[in-house]
Amino acid sequence: MKDYILVVGGAGYIGAHVNKFLHQNGFKTVVFDNLSRGYREFAKWGEFFKGDLLKEEQLRSCFEKYRIGAVMHFSAFALVEESILDPERYYQNNVMGTLKLLEVMRTFGVEYFIFSSTCATYGLPEKIPIPEDHPQRPINPYGRTKLIIEEVLKDYERAYGLKHINLRYFNAAGADPDGEIGELHQPETHLIPLVLYTALGLRSEVKIYGTDYPTKDGTCIRDYIHVMDLAEAHLKALQYLIHEERSDSFNLGNGYGHSVREVIEAAKKVTRRELKVVESERREGDPPILISSSQKAMEILGWKPRYESIDEIIETAWKWSLKHFSRL
């Protein structure tokens, strides 16, 4: 592709890793980010344009400056609990912001769109592993904002010819194996970094939210997928979209799950440190089990996760954490 790929939210966790992967594979990129939840130092590759999706004039300026051939969208707010407490913020950013982006794409004739969706669109699973044709009944505002955009994209393809792929992530985890970028949220709510912060002494304890789920050890089970495996899937999705001119949706996960307790034990093994664990009440909006069927992505996109071991995933996150926090 001779044109730039616009990486919206490319200074955040997943967007930054995808941006690096695209750069490594010879693509020209522009990161568009307002840095409200991203980090300028994470946007080390390609061009950078500071802008806000809700400010149409900034979007237009970016499209005027760079010849954009495709867009990858990573700039959604993604905290389930926050979305329950402040849904307006989520509908404004995740829905209204995306609609403005799509409007500017139409104005400039950009036809290819890769959308970061989520397994949260499925809600409480009726079967495990979860296939792409599973009913989508999200149980929190975050999941609903993602499903709304999936429906919008269907309508935009019918009306305007916009070609798109929805990539429904399960639990993104790990860090760049080179240690250049990693997972850094404010506030941090993801299990693996919270466990590693505890191992580093930055937190006093790890909390387990809910020990009475109908699972093997009473704690939630999640499908952890390495962030660089997600990055490779984005490139394969874009190549498929351009070559086949067909919109579609794909799950991205490893296809098996680990409980909260199992992740904590794996982190103890990787870090060789003991951790104080505190059991707490369930959080609202947490399904007991989320495990992906990613067979479709493997068969159609030719994608396969390279990091299949939870120990291996945690090892990359630990390596980056040690490097990053030693500088502070």
**The two three-digit tokens of residue 259, written as one number:** 């409980």
Please identify which of the residues 142, 169, 213, 224 carries the catalytic annotation: 142
Nearest to 248 by CA among 294, 293, 305, 297: 297
Contact 315, 270 (CB under 8 A): yes
DSSP for 52-84, please give it: -TT-HHHHHHHHHHS-EEEEEE------HHHHH
In the block, tokens 């982190």 appear at 267
Q: Where are the beta strands (DSSP E) in 93-232?
A: 112-118, 163-169, 171-173, 206-209, 221-222, 224-226
**Greatest CA span in the chain, whole angstroms?**
57
Handedness of CA 35, 40, 42, 47 (dihedral sign): positive
**The two three-digit tokens of residue 273, written as one number:** 């440190």
Q: Is 13 a catalytic residue?
A: no
Q: What whole-number distance in Å separates Cα of residue 186 and Cα of residue 36?
A: 10
Contact 291, 258 (CB under 8 A): no
Task: Give the residue numbers marked as catalytic.
Answer: 142
